[in-house]
């Protein structure tokens, strides 16, 4: 699995790879899929949901960490995950952040993930049942936020509000089946913002990364895109109401 992430996809973040190496992915997948736990694909975890492909987990983790020069664990910091699913991504994050808060809308999955994480001894992961669109107000602000379900329109406002200044949010975003892996960095100095001048301006950082600056709510964000991915949908509270 590690070799595939490094050689096939070219993700060379040794810190992320060393954490992936330590976490037993087979413990997070249903028994019938254990033999396939380290294969290069997502797996069914029940209730129509999936545990993401290992590369996707590795990339999202990398994007959360690599926002600053030098990639180091962020032990004093708090991360919020939306979409606990199996608990695997939360387990990875628990080795890199001080505290992991994770929200899952399907109660059975949340309970199962909680049990798995407890049995494996992850004590700095806190699982809550509910819709992640409201964030986790009591624990905010967060240094990082990761949404592991596909966002159709906009990042929920509360999640942006609960992000610290200088913080990073990673989410797959876009209409329809293809989602673009997107990283938002909340800028510390919104004062330099000039309506109409900076908005939507694109700066090419490298072949793969396109950066633009946008204003969302009361803050400015640097936005970068990292390719197309497929995710189960992010469910809004209003979707489940009759
Ligand atoms: N991170 C997970 C995989 C997530 S799959 C892992 O490591 O296994 C996406 C998950 O997001 C699903 O379990 C789905 O139920 C959940 N989800 C979708 N919409 C949500 C919402 N609004 N709030 C919280 N969880 C949500």
Element (DSSP H or E) covering residue 134 = none
**Would the CB of 143 count as within 6 Å of ligand 1?**
no
Beta strand pairing call for 210-216 and 219-229 = antiparallel
pLDDT at res. 83? 98
Mean of pLDDT values over 217-228 = 90
Contact 17, 6 (CB under 8 A): yes
In tens, the pLDDT along 182-211 reads 999 998 754 444 444 444 444 444 445 567
Q: State what percent of residues in the chain have pLDDT above 70.
A: 88
- 51 Cα to the center of ligand 1, angstroms: 9
Q: Is the pTM of this model over 0.85?
A: yes
Give bridge partners of residue 172 from the DSSP assignment: 181
Enumerate the active-site residues.
Answer: 52
Which of ligand 1's atoms lies nearest the C-alpha of 81? 1
**Would the CB of 129 count as within 6 Å of ligand 1?**
no
d(CA 165, CA 185): 8
Give 241's pLDDT tier (boundaries 50, 70, 90). Answer: very low
Beta strand pairing call for 210-216 and 202-204 = antiparallel
Report the alpha-carbon angle 163-161-111, nearest 5. Answer: 70
Using alpha carbons, select from 46, 82, 44 the residue that is nearest to residue 169.
Answer: 82
d(CA 171, CA 182): 5
d(CA 53, CA 38): 9
**Would the CB of 58 count as within 6 Å of ligand 1?**
no
Phi-psi region of 87 (alpha: psi -120 to 50; beta: other; left: phi over 0): left
**What is the Cα Rg of the chain in Å?**
17
Ligand 1, atom 4, lies closest to the CA of: 85
pLDDT at res. 127? 98
**Would the CB of 83 count as within 6 Å of ligand 1?**
yes
DSSP for 45-89, please give it.
EETTEEEPPHHHHHHHHHHHHTTSSS---EEEEEEEEE--TTSHH
Give 67's pLDDT tier (boundaries 50, 70, 90). Answer: confident
In tens, the pLDDT along 14-57 reads 999 999 999 999 999 999 999 999 999 999 999 999 999 999 99
Beta strand pairing call for 210-216 and 74-82 = unpaired
Please report the domains of the chain, with CATH numbers, ordered by start residue. Answer: 63-230 (3.40.50.150)
Does the pLDDT at position 103 exceed 70? yes
d(CA 192, CA 201): 14
For residues 200 and 113, which has the higher predicted lDDT (pLDDT)? Answer: 113
For residues 125 and 193, which has the higher predicted lDDT (pLDDT)? Answer: 125
Mean of pLDDT values over 113-138 = 97
Give 239's pLDDT tier (boundaries 50, 70, 90). Answer: low
Does the pLDDT at position 238 exceed 70? no
Positive or negative torsion for Cα 14, 27, 46, 122: negative
Strand, coil or helix: what is 226?
Answer: strand
In tens, the pLDDT along 168-179 reads 999 999 999 999
Mean of pLDDT values over 199-224 = 69
């Amino acid at each position: 699995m590690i070799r595939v992430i490094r050689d096939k996809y070219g993700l060379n973040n040794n810190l992320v790879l060393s954490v992936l190496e330590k976490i037993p992915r087979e413990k997070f997948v249903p028994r019938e899929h254990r033999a396939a736990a380290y294969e290069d694909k997502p797996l069914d975890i029940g209730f129509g949901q999936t545990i993401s492909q290992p590369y996707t987990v590795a990339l999202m983790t990398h994007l959360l960490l690599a926002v600053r020069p030098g990639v180091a664990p962020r032990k004093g910091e708090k991360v919020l995950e939306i979409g606990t699913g199996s608990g695997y991504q939360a387990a990875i994050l628990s080795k890199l952040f001080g505290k992991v808060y994770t929200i899952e809308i399907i109660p059975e999955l949340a309970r199962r993930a909680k049990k798995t994480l407890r049995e494996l001894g992850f004590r700095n992961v806190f699982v809550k049942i509910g819709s992640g669109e409201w964030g986790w107000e009591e624990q905010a602000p967060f240094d990082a936020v990761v949404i592991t379900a596909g966002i159709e329109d906009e990042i929920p406002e509360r999640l942006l509000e609960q992000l610290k200044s200088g913080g990073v949010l990673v989410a797959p975003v876009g209409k329809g089946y293809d989602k673009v892996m997107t990283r938002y960095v909340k800028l510390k100095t919104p004062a330099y913002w000039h309506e109409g001048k900076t908005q939507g301006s694109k700066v090419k950082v490298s072949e793969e990364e396109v950066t633009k600056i946008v204003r969302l709510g009361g803050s400015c964000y640097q936005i970068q895109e990292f390719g197309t991915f497929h995710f189960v949908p992010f469910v809004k509270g209003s979707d489940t109401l009759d």
